[in-house]
Amino acid sequence: QFFSPELAQELDIDPSLLEGREREITVLFSDIRGFSRLSENMAPRDVCSLVRDVMEHLSSKIREHEGVVVDYVGDGLLAMWNAPREQADHAVLACRAALAMQESLPALNLIWEKRLGQKLALGIGINTGPALVGNIGSMRKFKYGPLGHSVNIASRVEGATKTWGVSILMTEETQQRLGDAEFARRRLGTIRALGMVRPTVLFELHSDKITQEWAEMQRTYEEALGLFERRQWAECCRAI
Between residues 53 and 13, the one the model is more confident about: 53
**pLDDT per residue over 56-99, tens digit each?**
999 999 999 999 999 998 899 999 999 888 899 999 999 999 99
How many whole angstroms separate alpha carbon 30 and alpha carbon 123?
5
Residue 1 clears pLDDT 70, i.e. is over it: no
How many whole angstroms separate alpha carbon 101 and alpha carbon 32?
12
- Under the banding of pLDDT at 50, 70 and 90, the label for residue 120 is very high
Against a cut of 0.75, is the pTM above it? yes
Is the preceding omega at residue 15 within 30 degrees of 0, hence cis?
no
- Report the pLDDT averaged over residues 168-190: 94
**pLDDT per residue over 203-222, tens digit each?**
999 999 999 999 999 999 99
- Report the pLDDT averaged over residues 191-202: 85
Contacts of 62 (CB under 8 A, 6+ apart): 28, 68, 69, 77, 79, 97, 101
* pLDDT value of position 91: 97
* pLDDT value of position 3: 62
- Under the banding of pLDDT at 50, 70 and 90, the label for residue 142 is confident
How high does pLDDT run on average in the chain?
91
* pLDDT value of position 9: 82
Residue 239 clears pLDDT 90, i.e. is over it: yes
Quickly count: other Cβ atoms within 10 Å of residue 124's Cβ: 28
Residue 5 clears pLDDT 80, i.e. is over it: no
Angle formed by the axes of helices 105-116 and 90-103, to 10°? 40
